[in-house]
Amino acid sequence: MPEQNLGCLRRGTQRAIGSVAALLALAAAPALAQPSMVPATVDGATVKLATITHKPAGAGPFPILIFHHGSTGRGTDPGIFARPYEPIFLADWFVARGWAVVLPSRRGRGGSEGLYDEGFDIDRTRGYACDDNLSIKGFDRALRDADAITAAILALPFADRARFVVGGQSRGGILSIGWSGQRPELPKGVLNFVGGWLGSGCGYSAKVNAELFKRGAAFKSPTLWLYGDKDPFYPLSHSRGSFETFRNAGGNGSFNEYTLPDGVSGHSVVSYPQLWEATMERYLAERGLPAKHTYRPLTDDEIKARFVGKTVDWRGGLRADYRTDGSYEVVVESRPSSKGKYAIANGQICVTFDDGRSRCDKINVDSRGLFMITATGAKFYGVPR
């Protein structure tokens, strides 16, 4: 249910990997996100809904992914409501393949106008209600927001509405499945990352989630369900049950399970493209949609020209210095730095840290710019200066 903001993701990665240097895996694409306020008519009123857009250079039109956010955990902290949801790893993955990715926020969320009212208890200070009627009413409200903002986004000049996929994280995942059943003629595909509306801690969760997933059965093309082990909100046993209910109602899809690194919640699977890349590429290709990432490795001389004596800035406040004497230092915001020595050979930069740890990353370039491929297969962008 809760979204994985970058701060939380950093903390989870630090626990899992145990080194500041490994936070290179948090680097995202250097291109700036494009925030905007999009007018939409919902429930008879015009409101401006906040969006964040990641897209390739140029005017398009581009195949487009509209990706919906989840909840705010328990719904008890109004200070979280205004935080935008920006899954930069997912956005990077799609933009590298020529897609535009638009991240809309529903009413009262992420800077959007209006009241955030998606299944709260009658006493809103108690957060989301463990109540089937209130929860379903909240879903229906979110569904109306999703329908309104989809129409507005698909009317944008860079959007190729003939190559449109909808998806979402957590509540956004189940919302995407349900919405596709309401508008089955529109999307070419549907992506459900760890979807559900009520966490399994609520006694009504199985009933509510099954009922809402069944609404997507009217979308007859295959849907893609991606879930992680050790999800504290939607254990795999719970989500398998939701999928079977969806299938029994006539829904079409595949259920995919992934094991995340030690100490990382399965609810974070969207942030680990290296786990689901092959599945996603196959799914998109089967729909006739762009799926492959085209790039080339850099030679050692090209790497030296771009790195030696340079600082590489990564989105998220990470800075790595590659000094001319072979020394290396990486800093994440105000945290203590990690230092070591680096060497360039065989298309890689290998770093040996002062505490004995080491890592090697392959350096490549694509239409967006410079990026590394880590030992785990993850791909992350940076900008030397």
pLDDT band, very low/low/confident/very high, at 315 (cuts 50, 70, 90): low
Strands of 100-104's sheet in order across: 34-42, 45-54, 100-104, 62-68, 159-169, 189-193, 223-228, 253-258
Interval 48-73: pLDDT, tens: 999 999 999 889 999 999 999 999 98
From-to residues of CATH 3.40.50.1820 in the chain: 31-286
pLDDT, the chain, mean: 90
Both tokens of residue 245? 């209910």
DSSP characters over 255-312: EEEE-PPTT--GGGGGG-HHHHHHHHHHHHHHTT---PPP-EEPPHHHHHHHHTTEEE
Domain 31-286 has CATH 3.40.50.1820: yes
- Smallest CA-to-CA distance from 164 within 143, 181, 189 is with 189
Task: Give yes or no for residue 20 having a pLDDT over 50.
Answer: no
Backbone angles phi, psi at 211, to 5 degrees: -60, -40
Interval 161-172: pLDDT, tens: 999 999 999 999
Model pLDDT, residue 17? 33
In the DSSP assignment, the letter for residue 203 is: T
Task: Give yes or no for residue 378 having a pLDDT over 90.
Answer: no
Interval 320-340: pLDDT, tens: 999 999 999 988 877 778 999
For the chain, how are helix, strand and coil distributed in percent, rounded to 5?
30, 30, 40
pLDDT band, very low/low/confident/very high, at 33 (cuts 50, 70, 90): confident
Average pLDDT rounded to a whole number, residues 134-151: 97
Average pLDDT rounded to a whole number, residues 370-381: 87
Structural class in CATH, domain 296-384: mainly beta
Task: Give yes or no for residue 27 having a pLDDT over 80.
Answer: no
Model pLDDT, residue 5? 33
From-to residues of CATH 2.40.128 in the chain: 296-384
Interval 210-241: pLDDT, tens: 999 999 999 999 999 999 999 999 999 999 99
Model pLDDT, residue 317? 67
Task: Give yes or no for residue 8 having a pLDDT over 90.
Answer: no
Higher-confidence residue of 154 and 16: namely: 154
Interval 89-98: pLDDT, tens: 999 999 999 9
Q: Where are the alpha helices (DSSP H) in the chain?
A: 6-17, 78-81, 88-95, 132-154, 171-182, 205-214, 236-248, 273-286, 300-307
- Smallest CA-to-CA distance from 99 within 383, 371, 379, 368 is with 368
Interval 106-127: pLDDT, tens: 999 999 999 999 999 999 999 9
What SS3 class is residue 47?
Answer: strand
